[in-house]
Amino acid sequence: MKHSLKRYIVPVVIAIGILITIYYYFNPENHFFPQCIFYRVTGWECAGCGSQRMLHSLLHGDLAMAWHYNAALLIVSPILLAMVFANLFSNKYPRFYNFIYSPWIVWSVVGGMIAWWILRNII
């Protein structure tokens, strides 16, 4: 791992832990969480709409509701986590980094999210 990244790991892990705790204890539908500006302006859902409620449901083990709120993000989440891992450990696992950032994976994720954004508004 790069030396400059090591000093950020502990604060980032603490921040993620705090965010997970907040999303576990507070339901985004009933509290102070930010709302989607795109939805408020257009009335259409963006690709990320429902992601906060999805995370809350997922943290409570309710996979069906998580799927209901944002199925695409639920499907793509393991790939995004793999991308973060590949970035952090690119020196140690260069073949994995090259694989996960191959054009066909990146464009599949981008294309899938754009398709989700469009389809969820016309269906």
Each residue's pLDDT tens digit, 20-70: 999 999 999 888 898 899 999 999 999 999 999 999 999 999 999 999 999
Is pLDDT at 4 greater than 70 in this prediction?
no
Each residue's pLDDT tens digit, 83-121: 999 998 898 999 999 999 999 999 999 999 999 999 999
Alpha carbons 42 and 40: distance in angstroms, whole number:
6
Query: Is the sign of the CA dihedral 116, 19, 63, 33 positive or negative?
Result: negative
Counting every residue written for the chain, the total comes to: 123
> Could you tell me the pLDDT band of residue 5, with boundaries at 50, 70 and 90?
low
